[in-house]
Amino acid sequence: MLRIIAAIVAVVLGAPALWMLIRLLAASKFTALDVVFGGVASFIATVAILCGWFALRGHLPGSRRHIRLTMLGAFIIGAIAFVAGFIGPIIFQPKSNQGPLLGIFLTGPVGFVLGAVIGWFYGRFRHEARPVGTIQSGPGAA
């Protein structure tokens, strides 16, 4: 049931994300709003890709572990980037009433995407080296 919901979410989010990214890449000149637009579009596309990945390969234990590590990286780095973009402008420019928007529309979504990429690489090269069900012992065992 969860995989069916993930497939629906992937399709529903994937179409507008694709439209936004194509619109952004087809622009002849970039504005400041396009940078924000790109951050939000990449966030939506990343969520759609993760949902599609879970819908297609969520039944495999190794793939589920890889998805979990990717999501963990996305949430950790995305949260750090969001807090930095939200709190940073409040500290450094207290009179600016639009400072927190940096964290909401730019650093949070971009941090989520960057965290997903880092989590994917971590899961790919660090954890997929050992087979499912293998128990490691000794120094460095997780």
Kindly report, residue by residue over 99-108, the tens digit of the pLDDT: 889 899 999 9
Report the interhelical angle of 2-26 vs 32-57 (nearest 10°).
Answer: 150
Which 8-state DSSP code applies to residue 135?
-
More confident residue, 91 or 137: 91
Taking residues 9-16, what's their average pLDDT? 95
User: What's the confidence (pLDDT) of residue 133?
Assistant: 55
What is the token pair recorded at 132?
Answer: 């499912």
Beta-carbon-side half-sphere exposure of residue 9 (alpha carbons within 13 Å) = 19
Number of continuous H segments (helices) and E segments (strands) in the chain? 5, 0
**Angle made by CA atoms 99, 105, 111, in degrees to the nearest 5:** 105
Residue with tokens 């939000």: 40
Confidence check: pLDDT of 97 > 90: no
Quote the percentage of the chain above a pLDDT of 90: 62
Q: Domain ranges in the chain?
A: 2-127
What is the token pair recorded at 55?
Answer: 């819908």
The letter for the amino acid at 101 is L
What is the token pair recorded at 11?
Answer: 């399709």
Report pTM.
0.83
Confidence check: pLDDT of 74 > 90: yes
What is the token pair recorded at 127?
Answer: 């954890």
Taking residues 35-57, what's their average pLDDT? 94
User: What's the confidence (pLDDT) of residue 137?
Assistant: 58
pLDDT-derived band at 80 (thresholds 50, 70, 90) equals very high
pLDDT-derived band at 138 (thresholds 50, 70, 90) equals low
Beta-carbon-side half-sphere exposure of residue 85 (alpha carbons within 13 Å) = 20
Confidence check: pLDDT of 141 > 60: no
